[in-house]
């Protein structure tokens, strides 16, 4: 009977035990095998990726979009309006990890396991993520001091 009481006290103090809590923190409260598509905070700032997401959203009707609650407000507002226009169900996850540049900012997840091999938007749609010709043609400018001393 003391084991039962101890379990009940632990559940009351710490909450119910979770399966893979680190994975759930990384993937905004869900599991990796349920994810269709992900975007890091850095990828969310790029307009090309936003257009790619807009084109890909019709393929994921019925899925849930999870947004990191610690994103900057301007980015969060842009994606909330985009998702609302597309009539996608979304949820803002406030207990997610910090919104560092490499942390996940947006995640499209199913209700059941889908086992997608590649979920990163730039790897899944590489043609859309390629830099434009204008960006490739600009040579790097050398500073005055570098030209003077080298």
Q: Average model confidence (pLDDT) for the chain? A: 85
Q: What number is the average pLDDT over the span 25-41?
A: 90
Range of the domain at 50: 38-126
Helix (H) or strand (E) holding 104: strand 104-109
6 within some domain: no
Categorize the per-residue pLDDT at 1 as very low, low, confident or very high, splitting at 50, 70 and 90.
low
Total number of residues shown for the chain: 150
28 within some domain: no
CA–CA dist 90, 83 (Å, integer): 7
79 within some domain: yes
Give the pLDDT confidence score for residue 129 in this predicted structure. Answer: 53
116 within some domain: yes
Question: Could you tell me if 83 and 91 are in contact, meaning their C-beta atoms sit under 8 angstroms apart?
Answer: no
Number of structural domains found in the chain: 1
CA–CA dist 18, 84 (Å, integer): 31
70 within some domain: yes
Is a pLDDT exceeding 90 seen at residue 25?
no
Q: What number is the average pLDDT over the span 31-55?
A: 93
CATH number of 74's domain: 3.30.1330.30
17 within some domain: no
12 within some domain: no
CA–CA dist 119, 83 (Å, integer): 19
4 within some domain: no
Copy the structure tokens of residue 21. Answer: 């809590």
Is a pLDDT exceeding 80 seen at residue 15?
no
Question: Nearest to residue 57, comparing CAs of 89, 25, 26?
Answer: 89
Helix, strand, coil distribution of the chain in percent, nearest 5: 50, 15, 35
Query: 77-136, pLDDT tens digit by residue?
Result: 999 999 999 999 999 998 756 778 888 999 999 999 998 899 999 999 887 655 554 555
């Amino acid at each position: 009977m003391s084991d039962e009481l101890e379990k009940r006290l632990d559940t009351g103090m710490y909450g119910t035990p979770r399966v893979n809590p680190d994975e759930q923190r990384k993937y905004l409260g869900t599991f990796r095998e349920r994810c269709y598509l992900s975007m890091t905070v850095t990828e969310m700032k790029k307009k090309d990726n936003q257009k790619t997401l807009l084109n890909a959203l019709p393929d994921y009707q019925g899925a849930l979009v999870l947004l990191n609650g610690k994103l900057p407000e301007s980015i969060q507002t842009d994606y909330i309006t985009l998702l609302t226009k597309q009539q996608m169900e979304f949820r803002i996850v406030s207990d997610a990890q910090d919104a560092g540049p490499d942390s996940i900012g947006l995640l499209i997840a199913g209700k059941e396991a889908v086992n997608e091999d590649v979920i990163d938007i730039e790897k899944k749609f590489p043609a859309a993520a390629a830099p434009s010709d204008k960006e490739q043609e600009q040579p790097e400018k050398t500073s005055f001091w570098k030209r003077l001393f080298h």
